[in-house]
Amino acid sequence: MPPSAKAKITKADKTRARLIEVATRLFQEHGSGEVTVRRIAAAAKIEAGSIYYHFASRDEIMRAVLESGVGGAHEEVMQAIAKAGPDCSPLERFRAALSAHFKYTLRRHFSSRMKEIRRLPKRLRDHHMKQEREYAAVFAGLLKEAQRKGLLRPGFDLPVVRMLAIGALTWAAEWYDPAGAKSPDDVADELMRVLTGGIAR
Amino acid sequence: MPPSAKAKITKADKTRARLIEVATRLFQEHGSGEVTVRRIAAAAKIEAGSIYYHFASRDEIMRAVLESGVGGAHEEVMQAIAKAGPDCSPLERFRAALSAHFKYTLRRHFSSRMKEIRRLPKRLRDHHMKQEREYAAVFAGLLKEAQRKGLLRPGFDLPVVRMLAIGALTWAAEWYDPAGAKSPDDVADELMRVLTGGIAR
DNA sequence: GTCTATAGTTAGATAGAC
DNA sequence: GTCTATCTAACTATAGAC
């Protein structure tokens, strides 16, 4: 099914997309293990049995949520980097990437922290982990570029720094209050300020 | 049940403690929603029915795990701060607190990120959130002290900085590999270096 | 494509023996 | 205190009507 020119969007495509969307949100809000097929169906306004026209099993929903989630984040982060432009500093682009990651996580209610991944058949689990590595490589590449250009102080373990930074935002999606005074960009900016300059005098 | 002088440790106390310990680990490893009472029992080497001699319900196990988890972390963090001594810089004590938080999280396999908290009866949920706030206040107090003493650059939102920092470590407990080259202290130190001085030139 | 009805399984929880 | 046996409810998944 190549999504080329003539890809017509059927009713099934729409329902399937809606199911993935509500499942993503429910998994994130209540924890993947807590969410039943019945609840997903109810949230998508169809009956439980109808789910199985679109997905072969609950695990298959899970898989679709993960693929769509990581894939979507990857895409938006790449776009944000492209928008920042190839001429601006790698740290500027890193900031744009972090911000896009955070905003996507908040908007789509997606986080790849679902523990149930372990329960997936090895084939699907490997595919997900590959997708995650490719996504992480985007951030890693920007930090390496910054290092090459001499923008960083020496002595940091960049993979660790990268994971700490992304982790801070992944976790921020848990406590961030959209009704509060701060915008998602404010949070991403604050992280970037801490990250680049530090808080101490 | 005041745990005063004559607090004799019964067999029940030991079994209960073991149940909390294995439940904490299972909740963290597989996600709280995925873990059944039967699995907790199996991991603690007793039969499923016997659990109900120690806990009235699955939610009650959950509650005990949360209380013991946050309580234990609070205690160890306070000890680490005390050990650092009241004379050292508040940022030094903050570092000690972060490190203790991380090490506790890793050792006890505890993280308070269980989504199932929402499902708990309001009374228990409120109690948990109060405990969490008290715990967070320890870290907040150290940052405020640093600010008062003029150790910080101006313009930071300290609650946000605090949550980003703790979040980075909470998430680090997910990806940290005990078999790897880095010790938990290495990770906490790296975070503290980034936090205080920043990575950029 | 979505529904209703239901089979088959497994979960949380209880009762009573030991 | 712990076990075995079991109840009831809820879950995943299927079948067949529309």
Q: What was the pLDDT predicted at B6?
A: 59
DSSP lists the bridge partners of residue B152 as A200
Q: Which nucleotide has its C1' atom closest to residue B56's CA?
A: C13
Distance B53 CA to C16 C1' (A): 14
How far apart are the C-alpha atoms of A190 and B158, rounded to whole Å? 10
CB contacts of A182 in chain B (<8 Å) are: 157, 160
Q: Which residues of B28-65 are buried (b: 16+ CB within 10 A; e: fewer)?
A: bebbbbbbebeebbebbebeeeebeebbeebeebbbbb
User: In sequence order, which ranges of B31-157 are alpha helices (DSSP H)?
Assistant: 37-43, 51-54, 58-84, 90-108, 122-148
Q: Give the least confident one: A3-17, A113-127, B118-132.
A: A3-17
Q: Answer for A42: CB within 7 Å of strand D.
A: no
Give the domain ranges of chain A.
Answer: 11-197
pLDDT at residue A4 tops 60: no
pLDDT in tens, A142-174: 999 999 999 999 999 999 999 999 999 999 999
Chains A and B form CB pairs within 8 A to the count of 163
The CATH label, of 2.60.120.10, 3.40.50.300, 1.10.357.10, 3.40.1010.10, for the domain at A11-197 is 1.10.357.10
pLDDT in tens, A39-93: 999 999 999 999 999 999 999 999 999 999 999 999 999 999 999 999 999 999 9
In percent, the amount of chain B with pLDDT more than 90 equals: 88
- How distant is the Cα of A14 from the closest Cα of chain B, in angstroms? 29
Task: Summarize the confidence of residues B27-37 as an average pLDDT.
Answer: 95
CATH topology of domain B67-197: Tetracycline Repressor; domain 2 (1.10.357)
Q: pTM here?
A: 0.94
Distance A116 CA to C6 C1' (A): 28
DSSP lists the bridge partners of residue A152 as B200
* Secondary structure of residue A152 in the 3-state scheme: strand
pLDDT in tens, A97-106: 999 999 999 9
pLDDT at residue B4 tops 70: no
